[in-house]
Amino acid sequence: MSKGDYGILQNRRRAAELSGGISSDPIYSAIQRVIADRDLRGKILDYGAGVGQFVRRLLSLQRFEQIAAADILPVPADLVGKVEWIAQDLNLPILNHDEIFDAVIAAEVVEHLENPRAMMRDLFRVLRPGGTAIISTPNNESWRAIFSLLIRGHYVAFGDTSYPAHIVALLRKDFDRIFQEAQFHAPEFQYTDEGGLPGKPDVTWQAVTFGLLRGLRFSDNIIAVATKPR
């Protein structure tokens, strides 16, 4: 590895550490709903597993034959021997795992990577025909994100405090294009139904409307779900 490549790897590892390697409970719960609704089973990959928080949830479900995880961060001590941990920079392809997974989860990962199209091609390659990809990311079409763009000049999850962890902001149209360029079926979209008010992120639309406001404009995170053709 050249000195330049080593520096890039170190910068990416620091960015991963800054993110904390964890997502929020509403995101994990929404992904679990997708897993249950589609009755996903078999072998699953947690792509961008961070510190293993969602891996532990997957283990607790006891519905998958085998669980693998991939991240630039090292395997947590309590998960050694329980899952296959692929320790690598996810800006690079996962090798020697072609068409072996029935499902791939990427919870709040795509916004951290330099090339979302390369990521989607990699997920397509590691999935079996008929396999399912579930991708979550900050919802840049919520009212909170739109107001931030208009007032501050950037989406709410892509300001200076989120950098260099968050580097790629995507919209539904981007997902439509990227998934289909990678040869997936067109994606379906779901939402966490939990979203902060503009300027008051600790107060949610759902709390002030008793759960009436939900979906695209009132969720902080979006989930794209697509299948690989059989």
For residue range 178-202, list pLDDT tens digits in order.
999 999 999 999 999 999 999 999 9
What residues of the chain score a pLDDT lower than 50? none
Using CA atoms, how far residue 164 sits from 15, 73, 161, in Å, is 6, 16, 8
Burial 91-124 (b: 16+ CB within 10 A, else e): beebeebeeebbbbbbbbbbbbbeebebbbbbbb
Looking at residue 20, its pLDDT comes to 72
Residue 130 CB burial class (10 angstroms; 0-12, 13-18, ≥19): exposed
Residue 220 and residue 191: Cα distance in Å, rounded? Answer: 8
- pLDDT for 1: 59
The full DSSP string for 30-85 is: HHHHHHHHTT--EEEEEET-TTSHHHHHHHHHT-EEEEEEEESSPPPGGGBTTBEE
Residue that the structure tokens 């293993």 belong to: 52
Rounded CA separation 14/6 (Å):
12
Three-state secondary-structure class, residue 169: coil
pTM of the entire predicted model: 0.93
Q: What is the pLDDT of residue 13?
A: 72
**Given this model, what pLDDT does residue 5 score?**
61
The residue among 83, 129, 76 whose CA lies nearest residue 102 is: 129
Give the pLDDT confidence score for residue 3 in this predicted structure: 58
Query: Nearest to residue 85, comparing CAs of 100, 67, 98, 103?
Result: 67
Report pLDDT for 16. Answer: 67
Domains of the chain: 3-227 (3.40.50.150)
